[in-house]
Structure 1
């Protein structure tokens, strides 16, 4: 089960409402897939208790948990973002004020989708991490690639046990099959342009 890491630097709307919205989305996808809570938990490599709590809006998922659920339910992480009205160019263009948001305020994370909704392989976000905010307490690992550019603050990136602390202007790129996690070890909000390709879960 993922630990929640707090932080007050990001705007904090009704986090209970955010958790309920995410829970409803997870439950709807699970039912569409014809899965029980136990079956989804097994497929996503999560505990049944965690999936149950998430569906009832009683827990905030980490980014790792959402990635595992997305892979198990065959949807990108961006599916869990808040819907926004799109203008006429919304098929190809995202205006700053129309970005779809994913607030995981109890874990110190805010993600803004920078690309229009699509079934393509590419995902791009602006990621904001509170001091102490993190991707989760366990390593992520799946197919595809990840890359990013640090805009502000500090990002600690752990890749297969090797730790790198990145600062503004630093960039990174690695295969998503490499076990990885990240967090903000600094005292200010870290902001990162984060790019990833979708892929199926890697064995092990």
Structure 2
């Protein structure tokens, strides 16, 4: 099923809209609706109320409710916390692309088969370039819109990460150090070190980002 068609159906289910109204929903809104519906499903599967989930992940009930209804998208820090509470890898929160042939499962990812995570409120889109299998290596194509960021706060998670700036510029904060990266620059650091990233320019930034889950 094409990604846009599946997302439109998710939008209709989430908002109880007729087909012609859902078709007019902007792609960014559809992405928020899909992610919110997916997170609500995980919460229900774990038999958690909004209040219980809020206590475990450190977000407010109001913020979680807005995320589940597709009214806003979480920051990278919030999404990491939610994936830890639900005990699922980040890749499981991405919208699925086209299914690959059996012989390519776990080995090859075609362009149209990439899993995509769009955090429109913060201006970040992540495309998973590696198969969504139980491996330690995850490679992403990260697009950061002008003014976009991982969120206002530093965050941590398990593993190690590195990347290469393909286009544009990026501010990378690691603990109390601020690095201004330009096209062609690269980086590496321990993911347990508090960090955040941002695009403070008026041009889009594209980064190939690698995570090794420890």
TM-score (norm 1): 0.86
Q: Match for residue 26 of structure 1? A: 39
Larger radius of gyration: 2
Give the match's secondary structure for 2:53: helix
Let me know the Cα RMSD of the aligned residues.
1.6
Contact persistence 1:15–1:106 (CA under 8 A)? no
* Match of residue 140, structure 1, among 155, 165, 184: 155
Deviation at 1:39, TM superposition (A): 1.6
Q: Deviations over 1:119-141 (max 9, x none)?
A: 22322100000111000011111
Deviation at 1:69, TM superposition (A): 0.8
- CA–CA separation in structure 1 for the residues paired with 2:47 and 2:213: 23
Where does structure 2 lack aligned partners over 5 or more consecutive residues? 1-24
TM-score (norm 2): 0.82
Q: Which runs of 4+ in 1 moved over 6 A?
A: none
Deviation at 1:97, TM superposition (A): 2.4
Q: Match for residue 123 of structure 1? A: 138
Q: Deviations over 1:7-58 (max 9, x none)?
A: xxxxx94322211111111111111112221221121121121111111212
Q: Match for residue 5 of structure 1? A: none
Q: Match for residue 69 of structure 1? A: 82
Deviation at 1:155, TM superposition (A): 1.0
Deviation at 1:173, TM superposition (A): 0.9
Give the match's secondary structure for 1:111: strand
Q: Match for residue 108 of structure 1? A: 123
Where does structure 1 lack aligned partners over 5 or more consecutive residues? 1-11, 200-204
* Higher RCO (C-alpha under 8 Å, 6+ residues apart): 1
Q: Deviations over 1:51-86 (max 9, x none)?
A: 111112121112222111111111122112111122
Equivalenced residues, count: 188
Q: Match for residue 46 of structure 1? A: 59
Q: Match for residue 212 of structure 2? A: 197
Instruction: Write out aligned runs for 1:120-199 (5 A).
Output: 120-198=135-213
Q: Match for residue 57 of structure 1? A: 70
Deviation at 1:91, TM superposition (A): 2.3
| Structure richer in helix, relative to its length | 2
